Amino acid sequence: MFFINTSVFAQSNKGNSKDTNEQFSFDVDEVKLEKPSLLRPEFHGFLSVGAPFSEGLDETEKGSSNVFNQTELTFWFGAQIFKNLEFDSELEMEDGFEEFEIEKFELDWNVFNEKFVFRIGKFYYPFGIERFVESAPYNKLIDRPNPSINIIPGTYSDEGLEIYGIVPFLYKTKFKYELAITNGLSSHEGKGEQHLEDNNDNKALGGRLGFELMPGLEIGGSYSSGRYDDDEKFSMNFIGADISFQRGGFEIRSEYIRSNVERSTIAGGSFDREGYYFQASYKYSPEINYLSYIEGVARFDSIDANDLVTDESDADRVAIGINYSPMNHVKLKLEYEMENEAKEDRENKGFIQIIFSW
């Protein structure tokens, strides 16, 4: 097995893992239980293909409508270099294989028995919990929550240094921390990622603190701050809170994210943005032929992208979905989405996606 992710969140679910034959070959929970041999590289990934089957919004009006017409191919490569030193990388190919992006290229040094781990390289910025399940095999719906795309800029990877760990307490409780110093974002619009370059000398500081109250129940808070413009005049701050609960096949998760963006008066002045989502799901595994599991999912999210403006970016959205796995390493998803925006009602939309994992 290949150690693809040393995230604190993944470690918290080890007790709920099933037999490896019932999971994807790169399942993070199972990988944590069985690390690879020294100096033996491992290679895994997935291919996802999706498209809308009922779309009530023209593609030119909303960028997210285009996502499901595209194919995504993701590769994970890593190795256990020494007993306490691991390498992990992730390459994504999107937009008809025309866009390549290295999401992760990280080296982890387990200094003290997972209580203190030092990371260097490019990694997912440690804010919130949705980042752990954003990729297609782990995302229970096809689309991602609006706040995780339009407030925190999508899958936010950054270069820098990070320390993280888990500290056990009494009665099976655990304290979890992730703290990072990185280049930071270069813009409040779009993703704003810099890709190995830094537009100023200022560094972003942030991270997440979590507390596992009991097995399967965790609460957490996140914070990040940094100056994003070339002249280092304006800062962008994020604060978030999250909760997750998992028991058997039932899971709920929720997050709230708020951001303050400083901006010149010429550009319209500083503004705040906020959003939240709530998601619940239940997975049933009947253990019969051609049905590894079936899972129902429902999510509500809401976003206000700019408190100074009321426009189409302010939206409440309800999504329901069904996941069906006929065999190991194959997953089929159906999602139906109902959206109500500030200025006009939008028609409902439906999507389908199939994922092949290895």
Q: For tokens 């970016």, name the residue.
A: 313
Backbone angles phi, psi at 341, to 5 degrees: -100, 170
| Residue 152 pLDDT | 85
Integer Cα distance of 40 and 136 in angstroms: 26
| Residue 36 pLDDT | 53
With beta carbons less than 8 A apart as the criterion, state whether 188 and 261 touch. Answer: yes
300 strand-pairing partners: 278, 318
Integer Cα distance of 223 and 79 in angstroms: 31
| Residue 22 pLDDT | 35
DSSP letters, 49-109, are EEEEEE--S-TTT-THHHHTTSEEEEEEEEEEEETTEEEEEEEEEETTTTEEEEEEEEEEE
Per residue in 189-215, pLDDT (tens digit) is 766 566 667 777 889 999 999 999 999
How big is the CA angle at 254 (ends 183 and 157), to the nearest 5 degrees?
A: 20
With beta carbons less than 8 A apart as the criterion, state whether 128 and 151 touch. Answer: no
| Residue 30 pLDDT | 44
| Residue 191 pLDDT | 61
Low-confidence ranges of the chain (pLDDT < 70): 1-39, 54-70, 96, 155, 190-196, 341-347
> In this structure, what token pair is assigned to residue 116?
């203190």
Identify residue 260 by its one-letter amino acid code.
N
Is 303 strand, coil or helix?
strand
Per residue in 65-117, pLDDT (tens digit) is 454 456 889 999 999 898 899 999 999 987 767 778 889 999 999 999 999 99
| Residue whose C-alpha is closest to residue 240's, from 321, 165, 131 | 131
100 strand-pairing partners: 93
Domains and CATH numbers, the chain: 8-357 (2.40.160.10)
